[in-house]
Amino acid sequence: MSSTEQGTSSAAPAEPTTAPESAAAPEVPESFYYVHGKDKVVHKVSAGALQHSALIHGMISNLGYTEEQAKANPFPFENIDGDILQMVVDWCNQHKGKPTPPEDTNLPKQKEKLFDLVLAVNYLEIKELLTYCCKQVAMMVKGKSPEEIREIWMIPTDAEDEAAEKEAKKRAGKEAAGETAAAAGDAK
């Protein structure tokens, strides 16, 4: 029985039932923090689960919030979609205080979700989950030709890319010309 498991059970009810006086069992009840993504849906997550994220762990370790303060100040992650943040929170809860397995097969299979997850996980600095995600991304294109990879990862060819760039430049050029014209107009 690990100390973290005790921590979980003690946090939910009011008083821990007469737990054996084990030296490893911490008396401090577990603290919780709150996070939300782009959709503003707030998730309550234990500090133990949030330890997976080096970013959040760094933030909360210096705050010393009370339960009320934590509730009143959820961490906003406006750059992360709600469903992606849900996935991250679920993963952190599932792997709280556990040694992470060498493989994780529960990652999203759709590439759109996987790429968004990679960006979120990279931002939140969740090392193990990032490793699994990167492995999954690599597996997507194993044994595939460059053309197939382009299709799977939806990458434009250099020619398409150049054309798009030229188009963007043209537009930017036009806008700039418009602006200078406007500026010239102002000066008059």
Partner 1 sequence: MASIVEMPELVLEKVIGFSDFKAVLSLRQVCRDFRNFIDDLNDSKLPDSKFQEVKITSGDKRIEFELVDSDNFSNRILFSKAERSRRFYGNTEVFENSNIMDVAVRDLEMILKFQKTILKQLRFEISSSCQHYNDSSVNALPIKLSNMFKKLNRKIKTKVLIILADYPSEVMSIFDFVDPDTLKTLGFTLWGGYLETEIDEFVKTEHWKKADGMSSDFIVLNLNVEDICHFSSCSIRTNSITAQELDFLRKTYTSSSNYKNSSIHLRSFNEIEELGNLWDPTDFFDSESSWLFRMKNSDERILHIEIHEDHSAHSTRKIVDFVEIPSSWVSPEAIIHDYNGN
Interaction between residue 109 and partner 1 (CB under 8 A): no
CA–CA distance, 113 with 83 (Å, rounded to integer): 9
Closest CA to 104 of 129, 127, 83, 124: 129
Number of residues that bind partner 1 (CB under 8 A): 28
Residue pair 152/111 in contact (Cβ under 8 Å)? The answer is yes
Q: Which of 112, 184, 185, 187 binds partner 1 (CB under 8 A)?
A: 112
Q: Which is nearer to partner 1, 44 or 127 (CB)?
A: 127
- Dihedrals φ, ψ of 108, to 5°? -60, 140
First-to-final CA distance of the chain: 80
Residue 142 CB, nearest approach to partner 1 (Å): 6
| Residue 100 interacts with partner 1 (CB under 8 A): yes or no | no
Q: Which residue in 62, 158, 185, 187 binds partner 1 (CB under 8 A)?
A: 158
CB of 166 to partner 1, least distance (A): 15
Cβ-contact 67, 31 below 8 angstroms: yes
Residues that bind partner 1 (CB under 8 A): 112, 115-116, 118-119, 122, 130-131, 134-135, 137-139, 141-146, 149-150, 153-158, 161
